[in-house]
Amino acid sequence: MEWTKERIHETVETQRSFFRSGATLDVNWRIAQLKKLRDAVLEQQDELLAALRADLGRSDTESYFCDIGTSVVELNEAIRGLRRWARPETRFSGLTCFPSVITKVYKMPYGVTLIVSPFNFPILLTLGVLAASVAGGNTAVIKASAKSPNCTAALQKLIASAFPPEYVTVVDGGHEVGDLCLSERFDKIFYTGSPKVGRHVLQLAADNLTPAALELGGETGNWCVVRADADLKDAARKIAFFKLCNSGQICININQVAVAEEAAEAFLRELKAAFQKQIGEALGNAEYPRLISRAAYDKCAARAGQYADRIVYGGHGDAETLRFEPSILYPVGIDEEIVQHELFCPLLPVVPFPDAEIDRVMDTIAAREHGLALYLFTRDLRWAKKTMACQQYGGGCINEVCLQLMVRGAPFGGTGHSGMGAYHGEWGFREFTHPSTVLIGSTRFNLPLREHPYGSRWKQKLLGLFLR
């Protein structure tokens, strides 16, 4: 059945009625729903794996690691922690409020939420956000990506098997259906995708003053810096793994590498060897994922063509299978256009720099739009920690890649052009709830300090004593 404006509006209003019934407020009920969702994922994981294979050409192992298993981890964390997260906090009101000295902070759900999920990790970036919404006590309309139709169909079946549509439902369709959803008055919007569409989401959310969380890839991409003193073999191995994962279609993936020119040749040898060892002949390797669409493939191939004379590894693709080899572009200047935009493909520009000028490189990175991730490889941990503490980015690693996403209890989110808001674990619960402060008043021993008349000097003296 087609999703029309009327059908979407009816769905939102039905969910609003369900939310107002108060059914989602009970924490035990929420935990039961999270368990139901987890069990459905485990029962239907073969269908989810098949859908990921059909849409992205992923191997089952990569899909389980990146989408299925990680979703189960996220759901289990919410199941275990929800009672503690949702418990009202008790605060001492302070002498100014005497005798009403007890204040409660309640964690209240927003209500009806809209989750707009992307194609690159269509299961994880739907169910991981849904786990936070359900934990917070909300209902949810999920607008799944039209670019991964098999995964969208699998999600529709999964959600329908676990929840009634007045609680959670999945909407399919293209951008026009997405705009119909965004034109509705939701109580919270969570969008994962590109900065360009993120701006559009915020503009439409503003019409209804709907709070929105954005998880974006970063306007100018995520930098990886390899210093001259780095363990080059270790760095190359990890960078190669990450660039191969989902064929580079990852919001926190390395967009470009800045490598100390003193170590550049040795690093390139190690990186080529790592690619060769891990994937071999990529175009013929069934484990190597494809690009999501012909448009994405053509864009990647066109960029590679512009740098054909500087491709030192890879550079070939297969338009029939939509696979494009992991490709190293070297040397690339730090001010060239290709390193000032998110690529979202297996091209990897490498920018050489004198190691003595590392501060200039970091200043250049800092002057551009904030990335969603930053990766540093060096043996100088003092420098690395200091750098991580003064740059602006979503999250990152020192001598590692991507695993910041896997740390339980740690927030994941961007800043500026890489997003706003954060989730995972308790941070996701916070993103989908509003802290409501309630002071419990006393009917006895109330002092007239706040009341007229204000002429008495003793009132000023007492207020001066209390307001410290």
Give the residue-averaged pLDDT of 342-371. 97
Residues 87 and 144 in one domain: yes
pLDDT of 119 above 90: yes
Residue 429 placed within a domain:
no
3-state secondary structure at position 313: strand
Q: Is the peptide bond before 448 cis (omega within 30 degrees of 0)?
A: no
Residues 126 and 192 in one domain: yes
Which of 171, 198, 216 is a domain's end point? 216
Q: Which residues are annotated as catalytic?
A: 215, 251
Residues 253 and 175 in one domain: no
DSSP structure class, residue 64: I
Residues 115 and 246 in one domain: no
Residues 73 and 186 in one domain: yes
Residues 206 and 251 in one domain: no
Give the residue-averaged pLDDT of 33-62. 98
Residues 318 and 177 in one domain: no
Residue 396 placed within a domain:
yes
Residues 244 and 353 in one domain: yes
Give the residue-averaged pLDDT of 193-199. 94
Torsion region of 331: left, alpha or beta (phi above 0 gives left; psi -120 to 50 gives alpha): beta
Residues 111 and 167 in one domain: yes
- pLDDT value at residue 322: 98
What one-character-per-residue DSSP string does 91-158 give?
A: EE--GGGTT--EEEEEEEE-SEEEEE--SSSTTHHHHHHHHHHHHTT-EEEEE--TTSHHHHHHHHHH
Q: What is the CATH number for 16?
A: 3.40.605.10
pTM: 0.95
- pLDDT value at residue 446: 84
State the Cα–Cα distance between residues 332 and 258, nearest whole angstrom.
Answer: 9
Backbone angles phi, psi at 95, to 5 degrees: -65, -30
3-state secondary structure at position 257: strand
Residues 152 and 242 in one domain: no
Residues 229 and 176 in one domain: no
- pLDDT value at residue 79: 98
Residue 427 placed within a domain:
no
Give the residue-averaged pLDDT of 116-131. 97
Which of 162, 196, 216 is a domain's end point? 216
In this prediction, residue 57 has a pLDDT band, given cuts at 50, 70 and 90, of very high
Average pLDDT over the chain reads 96
pLDDT of 1 above 90: no
Calculate the dihedral angle through the C-alpha atoms of 451, 457, 461, 466, rounding to the nearest 10 degrees: 0
Q: What's the pLDDT tens digit per position in 295-304? A: 999 999 999 9
Q: What's the pLDDT tens digit per position in 78-103? A: 999 999 999 999 999 988 888 999 99
From 394, 62, 378, 83, select the one nearest 246 (Cα to Cα).
62
Domain count, the chain: 2
Residues 210 and 227 in one domain: no
From 201, 252, 261, select the one nearest 228 (Cα to Cα).
261
**Percent of the chain whose predicted confidence (pLDDT) is above 90:** 91
Residue 374 · residue 222 · CB < 8 Å: yes
- pLDDT value at residue 447: 77
- What is the residue range of 59's domain? 5-216
The one-letter amino acid at 196:
K
